[in-house]
Amino acid sequence: MNRSARPSAPRPLLIGVIALVAAATACSAPGESADKAGSDSGPIKIAVVDARSGQLSSLGEWEYKGAKLAIDEWNKKGGINGRKIQMKSFDSQGDPTTGTNLARKIASEKYIAMIGTAESAVTIAMAPVLKQAEIPNITSGQADALVAQKSPFLFLNGPTSTTYDSTLAKFLVQDQGFKKIAMISNNGSFGKGEHDAFAKAAKGLGANPVSDQVVTTDQKDFSAALTKIRSAKPEVVFIGSEEVEAGLIVKQARDLGIDAPFAGAAPQGTPVFIDTAGKKAVEGTFVSSPYLSNDISPAAQKFAAAYKSAYGEEAELHGAKAYDGTNIVLTALKNSDVATGKKLADAIRATQYDGLLGQFRFGEDGVGITKTTIGVIRDGKLVEHK
């Protein structure tokens, strides 16, 4: 007999041990690996989800860089409670189905919070999974449908379409005196949100659109819709579409002889919109935004300088939104002693943060800021309208 050999554990006992290990793993808190369950050490895992490929990839790049800049700054100061913040980027491709699958992956890999996405449709698709997993998410989407999710784990790091477009409608109708307004928007979550918010605000001010055209999110030829708009002879044209598509719409509109100014929300204030349409085509475009330029405040100037130093390019709204949103989440983590789940969500809601976009004060609906300013594109740059 081999005396060094140990008798094997009785089978029932072995099964019981396996069951206990499995139960312990399943009960690990969000953001912790199984062997770190219940500990207060190790990295704090934050997921950043946005389109890093496809037509909306410019949004993803801006968001990623804004979030990374904030996290890098915190890590340089020692992180939170001596723990480093570990950030991982996930590519949603701007696709809701891909986003839903990523939400499940983020939950299974125990991330404690998520930054993103910039695409409302993707965020809406992810929201039920993140709610069930109790993972707080701060998004740069602006569709009112985000608020309609009524998830206590979903927060917005900027205004809703209602804020953007009610401000814009008031400016166009009351301040500028435009009476003949045409609309062109896409049928995605963002476009529909923009369309409905602007149409409601304009109607409330007594302005019904002289032409209301809806296109698809992947459309490239807008001649049919724009021909109808041209026939209506509008004084201004509202666009409810993302950067690239909006730029193509303006470019084709000018080619068809439409010389009315355009107006819109966040996408129309970006370099991608300007570059896609062409500098001459976008001259005089009106934009409703909470962040018009990198010169709006000393804090914005400091952020822009750090962004330029880190990435060699100019900062813009979406990078600023992600920077603010990430700082809000990290501040809540610090204030809550790195809480997870509902406690972290409550800490985010309680966070009062003076950011680049303004003063964030979150309500029960997850919206923290409700003000925008009107800008205009002059010589290829967005500046405050005066």
pLDDT tens-digit readout, 247-284: 999 999 999 999 999 999 999 999 999 999 999 999 99
Instruction: Note the pLDDT of residue 163.
Output: 97
Radius of gyration of the chain (CA): 24
How far apart, in Å, are the Cα atoms of 263 and each of 120, 240, 372? 20, 9, 14
Does residue 219 surpass a pLDDT of 80? yes
Q: Output the average pLDDT for the chain.
A: 91
Instruction: Note the pLDDT of residue 13.
Output: 40
How far apart, in Å, are the Cα atoms of 90 and each of 117, 138, 164, 277? 10, 15, 28, 29
Top pLDDT among 207 and 13 is at 207
Does residue 35 surpass a pLDDT of 60? no
The reported pTM is 0.86
Q: pLDDT > 90: what percent of the chain?
A: 88
Whose tokens are 């809703």? That residue is 160
Q: What's the rounded Cα separation, in Å, for the pair 143 and 123?
A: 10
Instruction: Note the pLDDT of residue 39.
Output: 44
Top pLDDT among 5 and 213 is at 213
Instruction: Note the pLDDT of residue 240.
Output: 98
Max CA pair span of the chain: 101
CA 338 to chain centre: 23
